[in-house]
């Protein structure tokens, strides 16, 4: 991802919000922190501290997705290649089976939600 792609996402998000406010949690990736990014006034960036992947909600989702794919051994390079193709299919199956409730449960952090509710009360 680069700044141009991120800007396209922000522009799309702005249209979806229709003037509502949103807090967008982002890490310190160069695409997120570039001075070329044009933040709309109703999208408030919440920057994570550097080197804090534990605060990134997507990391918890990746843990859930990787769990059924762990501890696979391959006896040869060819077996590995076949395994990679099967894993792609398996990853798609795992994504397809995810429910919105599962994604919310593993990617929400109570302290973040509490801070957002607190901020919204003012």
What confidence score (pLDDT) does residue 29 get?
Answer: 86
The pLDDT of residue 22 is above 80: yes
The residues, any chain, with a CB within 8 Å of residue 70's CB and separated by 6 or more, are none
The Cα 107–Cα 21 span in angstroms is 21
DSSP 24: E
Average pLDDT across the chain, whole number = 81
| pTM (predicted TM-score) | 0.52
What confidence score (pLDDT) does residue 14 get?
Answer: 92
Q: Cβ(56)–Cβ(37) under 8 Å?
A: no
The pLDDT of residue 120 is above 70: no
Q: What is the pLDDT of residues 47-101, one digit of tens each?
A: 887 777 677 777 777 787 777 777 777 788 888 777 777 777 877 888 888 888 8
């Amino acid at each position: 991802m680069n700044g141009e792609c991120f800007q396209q996402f922000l522009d799309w998000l702005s249209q979806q919000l229709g003037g509502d406010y949103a807090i967008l949690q982002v890490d310190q990736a160069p695409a997120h922190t570039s001075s070329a990014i044009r933040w709309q006034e109703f999208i408030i960036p919440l920057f994570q501290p550097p080197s804090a992947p534990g605060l990134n909600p997507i990391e918890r989702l990746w843990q859930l997705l990787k769990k059924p794919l762990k501890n696979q051994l391959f006896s040869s390079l060819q077996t590995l290649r076949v395994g990679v193709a099967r894993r792609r299919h398996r990853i798609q199956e795992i994504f397809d089976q995810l429910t919105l409730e599962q994604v919310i449960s593993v990617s929400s952090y109570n302290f973040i939600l509490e801070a957002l509710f607190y901020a919204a009360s003012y």
